[in-house]
Amino acid sequence: MKDKEKYLNLGECFQITPNSYGKPGHRTFIIEISCKDHFIKLWLEKQQLALMFQDVKKFESFSNKKSFQNLNLSNSESPLEYKLVDFALEYQSNEDYIDFYFVAVDGDDKTLAATFTYQNVLAQKTSKEALVIVSKGRPICGLCFNPINEDGHFCIKLNGHIENIKIV
């Protein structure tokens, strides 16, 4: 990675596609970010995906639901792949855009800080897709809020006891 690529302003992006691979309990999560001159694959944890798009939902009431232009994108010759470390969102009310800021690392553990803008109306659509993907995982225990595996679950809070009890 060149020094100038350590901070990247992607400009306006036109599509974010959330996805997951694998079976519940062994899934990996990704968002693919398509911009005019860049295509980035950003791997992230389930909780990061959920938190990112729950934050996007907070701006739903601000959306003016204006029509958007879907452009034919000329993606870079090969996608850039990173693992998300941290992110932040900021709503731009004057243009109804959401600014995404993120810090990520590549396969060589080199850090990238990047930013891009995304139309709020598109972000709300993407948010619904992402939250559906997150919800298709393992059911959550109502007591300890940990996922329940197919072969059962050890709940440390069942009946107020700290000892592990397997729920089948």
DSSP 3-state assignment of 17?
Answer: strand
Q: How confident is the model at residue 1 (pLDDT cuts 50, 70, 90)?
A: very low
pLDDT digits (tens, 9 = 90+) for 99-145: 999 999 999 999 999 999 999 999 999 999 999 999 888 888 888 87
pLDDT attached to residue 168 = 56
- pTM, entire model: 0.76
Directed axis angle between helix 120-135 and helix 46-57, to 10°?
140
Nearest to 16 by CA among 144, 134, 103, 123: 123
pLDDT over 70 percentage in the chain = 82
pLDDT attached to residue 138 = 84
The helix or strand, by DSSP H or E, that contains position 119, with its residue range, turns out to be strand 111-119
Residue with tokens 């941290």: 86
Rounded Cα distance between 7 and 29, Å, is: 23
pLDDT digits (tens, 9 = 90+) for 4-16: 457 889 999 999 9
pLDDT digits (tens, 9 = 90+) for 41-80: 999 999 999 999 999 999 888 776 665 555 444 445 568 8
Rounded Cα distance between 22 and 45, Å, is: 13
